[in-house]
Amino acid sequence: MPSFFHRPAAHDIHAPSLELEGVSVAYDGIAALEDVSFSVRQGDQAAVIGPNGAGKSTLFNVIAGIVKPQRGSVRVYGSGPRGHICVGYVPQRNRIDLRFPVSVHDVVMMGRIGKIGLSRWPGRRDRQIVGEALEQVEMQPFARRQIGELSGGQQQRVLLARALAQEAELLLLDEPLGGLDTPSQEAFLRILDRLRRRGITMLVATHDLNQAAEQYPLVLVLNRRLIAFGSPANVLTTDILSQAYGSQMHVVHTKQGELVIADTCCNGGQPPVPQMLGTEPHDLTARVESQVELANR
Ligand code: ADP
Ligand code: MG
């Protein structure tokens, strides 16, 4: 039975928002996560990076209580992951089916079920919260549309609105920009920026190392094991990135510093997008070109 039919889990206000200890998950005997331990305090915002198959989505499923680890423990505000209406999860796009005939408004209202309970109908306050959540993600004009009629980027924003209407205290966003066109990516980044400034605790899986470096105070590097967790300056080093990306990463030493190209992307079957770190931030294309020049010398 889904967890929201149970009494919501209690919060220990002294406990970290999230704490994993020795978490291991295997599918059919093949390890997806091995001995992963870390904790996240209230207000922490971390990018989760690692190559395809690193276990990022598995990690989020474990935190959301959807996948049960074979070993180790997951604690959300001091208790097990199930029954927490405070965890808002926006899964990776290719893992969700939004073809069912439900309006955008109703999808977002579903986020309220944990708060409303099953014993009463949504009230004025619930409708107001749903309206505000849709406004925050710039989807209010689409409230009466069927979710299946929207573009991928719009659907993604509606799912984020659902997490906001839920009044989530811990947001898990799994590759929220994956497969979106540039305007949708920009819209989503604007929304993420607002949430960050509000200090919401969040973990965001991303393939964009520059975005991780520039926009998150913390970066968690995963490849089955937890390779590193800390500030971008401490974590996005050549050594740590090569442990995570192995042969998918190339490093070029220049007078200005190290250029790192990591083929990190799944991009819905598109070719990998080269990414660079360690130089002054400027236009990615320019950096790619200078990289090609360097490589040709
Ligand atoms: P990421 O999100 O970093 O790409 P995943 O967590 O999706 O990584 O996958 C980690 C590994 O676990 C991969 O090898 C993947 O094939 C496997 N895996 C993920 N989900 C399942 C599942 N439901 N059943 C079997 N294997 C899975
Ligand atoms: Mg994934």
CATH classification at residue 34? 3.40.50.300
Q: Give domain status of residue 232, yes or no.
A: yes
Lowest mean pLDDT among 210-219, 230-239, 243-252, 281-290: 281-290
* Residue 60 is assigned to a structural domain of this protein: yes
Rounded mean pLDDT of 187-196?
83
183 lines ligand 1 (CB under 6 A): no
Instruction: Confirm whether 47 is domain-assigned.
Output: yes
Q: Verify whether ligand 1 is closer than 6 Å to residue 51 (CB atom).
A: no
Indicate whether 212 belongs to any domain: yes
User: From the alpha carbon of 59, which atom of ligand 1 is closest?
Assistant: 6
Instruction: Please indicate whether residue 52, judged by its CB atom, sits closer than 6 Å to ligand 1.
Output: yes
On whether residue 41 sits in a domain, the answer given is: yes
Q: Where does residue 107 fall: left (phi above 0), alpha (psi -120 to 50 degrees), or beta otherwise?
A: alpha
Q: Give the structural domain span for 63.
A: 3-86+169-236
Residue range 145-168, pLDDT digits in tens: 999 998 888 888 899 999 999 888
Lowest mean pLDDT among 6-10, 102-106, 272-276: 272-276
- Mean predicted confidence (pLDDT) in 117-126: 80
Q: Indicate the helix (H) or strand (E) that contains 219.
A: strand 218-223
50 lines ligand 1 (CB under 6 A): yes
Query: What is the tens place of the pLDDT at every residue in 224-274?
Result: 999 999 999 899 888 898 889 887 666 665 555 556 665 555 544 444 455
**pTM over the 0.85 mark:** no
Per-residue model confidence (pLDDT) at position 253: 59
Structural domain contains residue 79: yes
pLDDT (tens digit per residue) in 29-58:
999 999 999 999 999 999 999 988 999 999
Q: Is residue 54 lining ligand 1, measured as CB closer than 6 Å?
A: yes
Contact indicator for 149, 138 with CB cutoff of 8 Å: no
Decide if 43 is inside a domain.
Answer: yes
Looking at the chain, the whole-number percentage of residues with pLDDT higher than 90 is: 41
Ligand 2 geometric centre to CA of 203 (Å):
13
Report the mean per-residue pLDDT for the chain.
81
Query: Would you say the CB of residue 56 lies under 6 angstroms from ligand 1?
Result: yes
Q: Is residue 110 part of a domain?
A: no
| Total count of domains within the chain | 1
β-sheet bridge partners, residue 144:
none
**pLDDT greater at residue 257 or residue 112:** 112
Per-residue pLDDT, averaged over 57-62, amounts to: 96
CA 135 to ligand 1 centroid distance, Å: 34
Ligand positioned closest to the Cα atom of 34: 1
Task: Pick the closest to residue 44 from 18, 77, 63 (CA basis).
Answer: 18
CA quadruple 103, 107, 113, 116: dihedral sign: negative
